[in-house]
């Protein structure tokens, strides 16, 4: 499958890099031009078994148990330093593999480092409580590591989410097995390579590459996994839950969204325009928290959409390594997914305020580049305003009253993020209180870099929380101890 110039990456299992079957590999491509930039192992049940067994042995080892929380924290602080020292290389790998503009990848590198900083600082601050029960009894709780954590990482932010997964797992004293997306495994593999000299016990951190239906399914269904963290589609999330249920294993699911920006007519238009634009074009709209719906008061809709369209038309499109505003969408599969929605818009007579066309970039004829697109006057109940397109495609719906705005915003199967834009602080809080979602931004928008902010959804956007202190709940289990000292 590979030629002599294509780099062969390996799985990282029990402290060793290995290519289990040199004849069974997966091509990893640059989304901008379709070129093969590496090949990785097509991991299977046997590879996952080896990784989980290594994690299990390492988790139970005296070496890992003897490592004090503050010592784990110091290692994680060093990890953050290493990430920053290798910023240019990590950002380039992320851009070449995912397709996003280099400046966005550079932000991803810094966020990855911040995850290690954040969880390094709390490694020795995971505390229990004392509970007053009765005279003569000391009752207290202890938070202990949950054990072996399986992480299934999505393709759109592999470095950020990979760092988040590793940092919180190790900070809380667990062992981890990661399965990166088959399309974009390279930055996670490089991250693990950079962390290797830090001296974590062999087997505490493992990475198995491969397809979701093979390596991913083997990991989520493994009987020795104690917790599963999954970010991806609703349908795959259901299968992960089903696998976990067979082993009575808890899961954390982040399954995407159809997030609205709710714009009132008293907003600061310049600020709102800037954030609405950024929230839909970042990573070419391939972001679970993308502001993919504009829910706007009808009194300003026409003018606002006109200005937004002009701003979109000024954006540059090209290979991420060339510093454009928008890079390509990931793959032919993703192209076909978006194309079905654009075709539906055309068939149903949905007006296109701007964009809607695929473009060819010189030197990148094999890439899939889409103009940022505004679908105007979309009925709130229409499929275009209900389902995740996962591209730089914004739907516009209007409202007259606050009550109607909230109804439209809550009227999808998802509930991940929402933006509220108004100068009326009281109204902003009233709207935020009524929104059925896990995160609300008022007069700004951006979940990605909020390392300390708990992140997760309601409804089909999933459950459980990543990031911040809340994530510790997922990776620890509670023990209650009662000591009677008086008889």
Pairing of the two strands 16-18 and 7-8: unpaired
Pairing of the two strands 352-354 and 373-375: antiparallel
- Cα–Cα distance, 305 to 373 (Å, whole number): 11
The length of the chain, given as a count of residues = 487
The SS3 call for residue 267 is coil
**Other residues' Cβ atoms within 10 Å of the Cβ of residue 362:** 7
Instruction: Given the residues 94, 254, 388, 466, select the one marked as catalytic.
Output: 254
- Which of 481, 487, 468 lies closest to 168, judged by CA? 468
Instruction: Considering only CA atoms, give the Rg of the chain.
Output: 23
Sequence-separated (6 or more) residues with CB below 8 Å from residue 337 = 389, 390, 391
Sequence-separated (6 or more) residues with CB below 8 Å from residue 244 = 220, 221, 228, 250, 251
Residue 90 contacts residue 190 (beta carbons within 8 Å): yes
Question: Where do the H-state alpha helices sit in 182-321?
Answer: 186-195, 217-220, 234-246, 269-281, 298-313
254 counts as catalytic: yes
Pairing of the two strands 369-370 and 358-359: antiparallel
Question: Where do the H-state alpha helices sit in 123-228?
Answer: 158-171, 186-195, 217-220
Q: Count the helix, strand and coil residues of the chain and give each as a percent rounded to the nearest 5.
A: 40, 20, 35
422 dihedral zone (left: phi>0; alpha: psi -120 to 50; beta)? beta
DSSP code, position 390:
-
- Which of 102, 109, 97 lies closest to 26, judged by CA? 97
Burial of 235 from C-beta contacts in 10 A (0-12 / 13-18 / 19+): exposed
For residue 137, CA distances in Å to 92, 127, 213, 263, 480 come to: 58, 20, 51, 56, 13
Q: Which residues are catalytic?
A: 254
């Amino acid at each position: 499958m590979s030629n002599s110039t294509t780099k062969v990456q390996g799985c990282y299992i029990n402290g060793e890099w290995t290519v289990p079957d040199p004849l069974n590999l997966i091509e990893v491509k640059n989304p901008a031009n379709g070129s093969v930039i590496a090949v990785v192992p097509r991991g299977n049940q046997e590879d996952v078994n080896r990784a989980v067994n290594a994690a299990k042995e390492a988790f139970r080892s005296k070496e890992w148990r003897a490592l004090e929380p503050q010592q784990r924290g110091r290692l994680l602080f060093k990890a953050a330093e290493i990430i920053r020292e290798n910023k240019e290389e990590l950002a380039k790998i992320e851009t070449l593999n995912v397709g996003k503009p280099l400046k966005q990848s550079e932000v991803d590198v810094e966020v990855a480092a911040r995850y290690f900083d954040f969880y390094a600082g709390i490694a020795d601050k995971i505390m229990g409580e004392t509970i007053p029960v009765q005279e003569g009894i000391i009752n207290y709780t202890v938070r202990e590591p949950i054990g072996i954590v399986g992480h299934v990482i999505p393709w759109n932010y592999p470095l950020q989410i990979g760092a988040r997964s590793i940092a919180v797992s190790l900070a809380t004293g667990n062992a981890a097995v990661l399965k990166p997306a088959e399309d974009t495994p390279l930055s996670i593999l490089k991250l693990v390579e950079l962390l290797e000299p830090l001296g974590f016990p062999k087997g505490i951190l493992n990475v198995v590459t491969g397809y979701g239906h093979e390596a991913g399914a083997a990991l989520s269904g493994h009987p020795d996994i104690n917790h599963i963290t999954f970010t991806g589609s609703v349908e795959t999330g259901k299968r992960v839950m089903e696998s976990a249920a067979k082993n009575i294993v808890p899961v954390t699911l982040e399954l995407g969204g159809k997030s609205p920006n709710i714009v009132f007519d008293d907003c600061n238009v310049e600020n709102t325009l800037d954030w609405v634009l950024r929230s839909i074009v970042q990573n070419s709209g391939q972001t679970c928290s993308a502001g993919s719906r504009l829910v706007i008061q009808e009194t300003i809709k026409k003018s606002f959409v006109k200005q937004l369209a002009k701003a979109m038309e000024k954006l540059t499109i090209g290979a991420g390594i060339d510093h454009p505003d928008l890079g390509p969408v990931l793959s032919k599969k993703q192209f076909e997914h978006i194309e079905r929605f654009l075709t539906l818009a055309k068939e149903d007579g949905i007006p296109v305020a701007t964009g809607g066309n695929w473009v060819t970039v010189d030197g990148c004829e094999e890439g899939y580049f889409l103009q940022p697109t505004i679908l105007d006057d979309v009925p709130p109940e229409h499929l275009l305003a209900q389902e995740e397109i996962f591209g730089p495609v914004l739907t516009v719906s209007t409202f007259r009253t606050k009550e109607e705005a909230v109804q439209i915003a809550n009227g999808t199967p998802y509930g991940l993020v929402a933006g509220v834009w108004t100068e009326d602080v009281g109204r902003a809080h009233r709207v935020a209180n009524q929104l059925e979602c896990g995160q609300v931004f008022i007069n700004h928008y951006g979940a990605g870099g909020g390392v300390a902010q708990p992140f997760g959804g309601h409804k089909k956007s999933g459950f459980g929380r990543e990031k911040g202190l809340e994530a510790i709940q997922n990776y620890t289990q509670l023990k209650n101890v009662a000591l009677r000292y008086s008889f």
